[in-house]
Structure 1
Amino acid sequence: MSDNTWFIIAIVIYMLAMVLIGYWSYRKTEKYDDYMLAGRGLNPLVAAMSAGASDMSGWLLMGLPGALFVSGMSELWIAIGLTIGAWANWMWVAPRLRSYSEVSKNSITLPSFFENRLRDKSRLLRIVAALIIIVFFTFYISSGMVAGGVYWESTFGGDYLMGMAIVAGVTVLYTFIGGFLAVSYTDVVQGSMMFFSLIIIPVLAYFALANPSDIWSFAASNDYGPHTDGIGNPTYFSMITGVSVAAIIGNLGWGLGYFGQPHIVVRFMALRSPAEAKQGRRIGISWMVLCLVGATFTALISTVFFAQSPEYSITDTRAYESIFLDLARVLFHPLIAGLILTAVLAAIMSTMSSQLLVTASSLIEDLLKVFKKDGLSERNLIMLSRATVIVLAVIAAVMAINPSDSILGLVGFAWAGFGSAFGPVILAMLYWKRLNAPGAIAGMLTGAVVSIAWGMSPLGDALYEIIPGFALATIVMVVVSLATKSPDQEILDEFDSAKKLAEAVDGQDDIDFAEAAKEIK
């Protein structure tokens, strides 16, 4: 059989597994809260793996190795910033958000939590937050579909639209039928595939080298990849040479984005208990660090492997983002290589499914329920949510048919948009009593507008837009909150209750969280 046949067999096995998980989740989903938040029953392993897989996407397997291959270790500042940010998110946001979202009227989405936390009777806070989520994620989902089409095109030489339709169709199917539970458990499978692939590929490539120790010096003095002028890349192993202070600060600033990513922090709200955030942090950060190390060594070893093995070529000779895929094809039997190649597909699908569900929840929970005065049954809410998943997918697919730079460009700073708009507000929601609704609304709008405007201007080339966006959003949020009416006593009392609940269950796995929450209330 041809290599492509083996690759297709591997992908069919993978996609069938995803659909079966979706069906299993469908059998477990009876209530609206189950569909949107898995009944707040995620264990730490599932929550951690799901957060990691929905976070990293194809950047981890293709973007980061390619950047490290071309530019060298100076690209590691982003990885360092992300690791610090992810750790801080699990440390400071996860346990407090899990407690507070339950105390505050059992909120199941970020916009509903914002409204309940600040008792915003105007509903404007919830609507603004939902609209920010819908706008950014619709473009983000479209980008995932574009990535799926390009993956199919480059891996199999197939038709872009057919590949996009297949990848999007399977993702929508298991999200449609299984909801949050399906998304979370498929993320575990997808995260595991990413992890093992990033460990196995560099290890086998390392032992395939004639002189493995060359990886520590080769790139600095020998031609490889884009460096063909006879001197290699002399600054390859330096993290600071030729890198401005603004660039380092901007790259480290990627970590700030974690505090405001809806598809990540919603995993914290789905934990069984705040006490399990500690275990989730250990699992999630360990997974992340090992994956980043694997991606780094994939790039490092590739500088030697392809230069010393001219019979093997790199498919992408522009950004060199295919080195992970090219190594898999060279090192493994086509069936195993096909399974490893699906790790990239898994990364794309895990992120897209999370974004679909979060966007659907914002449309139904945060907009429809706000404007529709009559109550809806559990069954109707689930069916509407499933219908919304399909509608969103269709809109995103139409946008992806002829992808433009504006769509793909927006995705480049969507992380900054969410981080700037929601990051300061979420931290203030959890740790600042004086925050009020006008301050939160002003902060969100400032963060979103500044990050987009900065990223689209020449200033974006000098400093990553999340830095000014996050900073200005924080300043505006604080100034407006202090300049307007202070929160009512009811809000202050609830803040104290949430804090007390988080402290009561901290590290106490044997405490019944539901009972503790009732007692605190």
Structure 2
Amino acid sequence: MSDNTWFIIAIIIYMLVMVLIGFWSYRKTAHYDEYMLGGRGLNPFVAAMSAGASDMSGWLLMGLPGALYVTGMSELWIAIGLTIGAWANWMWVAPRLRSYTEVSRNSITLPSFFENRLRDHSRLLRIIAALIIIVFFTFYVSSGMVAGGVYWQSTFGGDYLTGMMIVASVTVVYTFVGGFLAVSYTDAVQGTIMFFSLIIVPVFAILALNNPADIFSFAASNDYGPYTDGEGNPTYFSMITGVSVAAIIGNIAWGLGYFGQPHIVVRFMALRSPAEAKQGRRIGISWMILCLIGATFTAMAATVFFAQNPDFSVTDTRAYESVFLDLARVLFHPLIAGLVLTAVLAAIMSTMSSQLLVTASSLIEDLLHVVKKDGLSQKTLLTLSRATVIILAIIAGVMAVNPSDSILGLVGFAWAGFGSAFGPIILAMLYWKRLNAPGAIAGMITGAVVSIVWGSTALGDIIYEIVPGFALATIAMVIVSLATKAPSQEITDEFDTAVRLSHATSMADEDVDFSEVAQEIKKGR
């Protein structure tokens, strides 16, 4: 059989598993809140792997190895910033957000939590937050479909539109059928595939070299990839040479984005209890560090491997983002290579499915709620949510039929947009009792506008837009909150209850009954 036939067999096996998980989840999803948040029954392993897989996307397997291959270790500042940010998110946001969202009228989306937490009767806070999610994530999903089409085209030499529709259809099927549980469990499987792929590819590549130790010196003095002048890349192993302080700060600041990513923090809200955030943090950060190490060694091994084996070449000679895929094709039997190649597909689909569900939840739970939710049955809400997934996928698909740089470019600062708009607000919601609705609205709008405007101009070349966006959003939030009416006693009492509950369950054994502890605290024990 041809290599492509083996690749297709591997892809079919993978997609069948995803669809089966979707139907398994369907049998466990009978109510609306289960479809949207899994009934708050996510175990820490699934939560951690799901958060990681939906976060990293194709950047981990294609973007990062390509950047490291071309530029060198200076590209690691983003990875460092993301690791710090992910750890801080699990440490400071996860346990308290899990407690507070249930205490505050059992909020199942971020916009509903914002409104309930601050008792915003104007509904503006919820509406603005939902609109930000819908706009950005629709473009995000579209970019995922574009990536799926490009993946199909480059891997199989097939038609872009056919590949896009196949990838999108399978993703939509398991999201439509199984909801949050399907998305979370498929993400966990996809995260596992990504992990093992990022371990075995660099290991086998290094073992295939004439001298494995060459990976620590070769690129600095030998030609490879884009370097053909006989000098190689002398600054390859330096993290600071040729990199400005502003660039380093901007790259590390990527970590700030974690606090405001709806598709990541929703996993915290779905944990069985706040106590399990500790285990989730250990699993998630360990997974992330090992994957980043794997991506780094993939790039380092590729600089030597392709130079020593001129019969093989890197497919992408512009950004060299195919080094991971090319190594997999060369090193393994086509069936094994096909399974490894599904790691990239897994990264694309895991992110796309998470974003589809979060966007659908914002449309139904946050915007429909403002117009009419009371009186709608669980079955009706469930049907509307599933229908919304289809509609959003169609809109995103239409946008992806003729991909443009503007769509793909939005992904670059959408992370900053969410981080700037929601990051300061979420932290203040959880840790600042004086926050009020006008302050939250001011901060959210400021963060989104500054991030978009900054990133759309030449200012974005000076420093990453999340730095000014996050900073100015925080300043606006604090100034407006202090200049307007303080929150009511009801709000501050609920804040104290959520804090006590978070502390009590975090200090207790992970098997503690969250509901019992909550009842005891509410009774004043």
Asked if these proteins are the same fold (TM beyond 0.5), I'd say yes
Q: Matches of 2:213 and 2:204 in 1, distance apart?
A: 14
Asked if the contact 1:98/1:270 (under 8 Å) is kept, the reply is yes
TM-fit CA distance, 1:520: 2.3
Q: What is aligned with 1:426?
A: 426
Q: Distance in 2 between matches of 1:418 and 1:188?
A: 23
Residue 515 of structure 2 corresponds to 514
* 1:50-97 deviations in Å (ceiling 9; x for gaps): 000000000000000000000000000000000000000000000000
Q: TM-score, normalised by structure 1?
A: 0.99
For residue 490 of structure 1, what is the amino acid of its counterpart?
E
How big is each residue's C-alpha offset from its partner over 1:219-253, in whole Å with a ceiling of 9 and x where there is no partner?
A: 00000000111100000000000000000000000
- Deviation per residue, 1:317-350 (Å, 9 max, x gap): 0000000000000000000000000100000000
State the match for 2:38 in structure 1. Answer: 38
- Partners in 2 of 1:374 and 1:279 — Cα distance? 37
Amino acid at match of 1:515: E
CA distance in 2, matches of 1:194, 1:301: 18
CA distance in 1, matches of 2:353, 2:518: 31
Q: How does 1:37-186 map to 2 (within 5 A)?
A: 37-186=37-186
Distance 2:438 2:507 in 1: 35
Paired residue type of 2:152:
W
Mapped partners of 2:20, 2:286: distance in 1: 28
SS of corresponding position for 1:204: helix
Question: Could you tell me which residue of structure 2 aligns to residue 339 of structure 1?
Answer: 339
Q: Secondary structure at the match of 2:62?
A: helix
Go from structure 1 to structure 2 and tell me whether the alpha carbon gap of 1:373 and 1:357 turns closer, same or farther (over 3 Å shift): closer
Task: Name the SS for the 2:321 alignment partner.
Answer: coil
Report the Cα distance in structure 2 between the residues aligned to 1:293 and 1:322, rounded to whole angstroms: 17
Question: In structure 1, how many angstroms separate the alpha carbons of the residues matched to 2:473 and 2:409?
Answer: 22
8 Å Cα contact 1:82-1:255 kept in structure 2: yes
Deviation string, structure 1 residues 337-371 (Cα, Å, up to 9, x no partner): 00000100000000000000000000000001111
- Distance in 2 (CA, whole Å) between partners of 1:239 and 1:108 is 42
Q: What's the counterpart of residue 378 of structure 2?
A: 378
What is the Cα deviation at residue 518 of structure 1?
Answer: 2.4
What is the CA deviation profile of residues 20-71 of structure 1, one whole-angstrom value per residue up to 9, with x for unaligned ones?
0000000010111110000000000000000000000000000000000000
Q: 1:412, CA displacement in angstroms?
A: 1.1
What residue ranges of structure 1 are gaps of 5+ in the alignment? none
State the match for 2:317 in structure 1. Answer: 317
With over 3 angstroms needed to count, the CA separation of the structure-2 counterparts of 1:372 and 1:399, relative to structure 1, is same
Q: Does structure 2 conserve the Cα–Cα contact (< 8 Å) formed by 1:278 and 1:507?
A: no
How far does residue 506 in structure 1 lie from its aligned partner after superposition?
1.2
Q: CA deviation at 1:373?
A: 5.6
TM-score of the two chains, using structure 2 as the length reference:
0.99
Residue of structure 2 equivalent to 1:479: 479
Gaps of 5+ in 2: none
8 Å Cα contact 1:46/1:185 also seen in 2: yes
- Would you say 1:400 and 2:400 are equivalent positions? yes
**Distance between the aligned counterparts of 1:334 and 1:76, measured in 2?**
31
Alpha-carbon distance in 2 for matches of 1:373, 1:197: 45
Give the secondary structure class of the aligned counterpart of 1:506.
helix
- The correspondence of residues 224-303 of structure 1 with structure 2, limited to 5 A, is 224-303=224-303
SS at match of 2:507: coil
**Helix, strand or coil: the match of 1:295?**
helix
Shift of 1:408: 1.2
Match of 2:199 in 1: 199
Amino acid at match of 2:342: T
AA of the residue aligned to 2:317: T
Give the distance between the partners of 1:364 and 1:518, measured in 2 at CA. Answer: 30
| Residue identity opposite 1:415 in structure 2 | W
Structure 2 CA distance, aligned partners of 1:197 and 1:341? Answer: 8
Residue by residue, what CA displacement relative to the aligned partner does 1:413-451 show, whole Å, maximum 9, x if unpaired?
000000000000000000000000000001000000000
Q: Which one-letter code corresponds to 2:101 in the other structure? A: S
Distance in 2 separating the partners of 1:11 and 1:118: 47
Task: Give the aligned partner of residue 363 of structure 2.
Answer: 363
Deviation at 1:374, TM superposition (A): 4.3
Counterpart CA distance in 2 for 1:342 and 1:390 is: 24
- Partners of 1:392 and 1:458 lie apart in 2 by 32
Using the alignment, how far apart are the partners of 1:200 and 1:214 within structure 2?
19
- 2: distance between equivalents of 1:429 and 1:132? 18
Pick which of 369-378 and 13-22 moved more.
369-378
What's the counterpart of residue 326 of structure 1?
Answer: 326
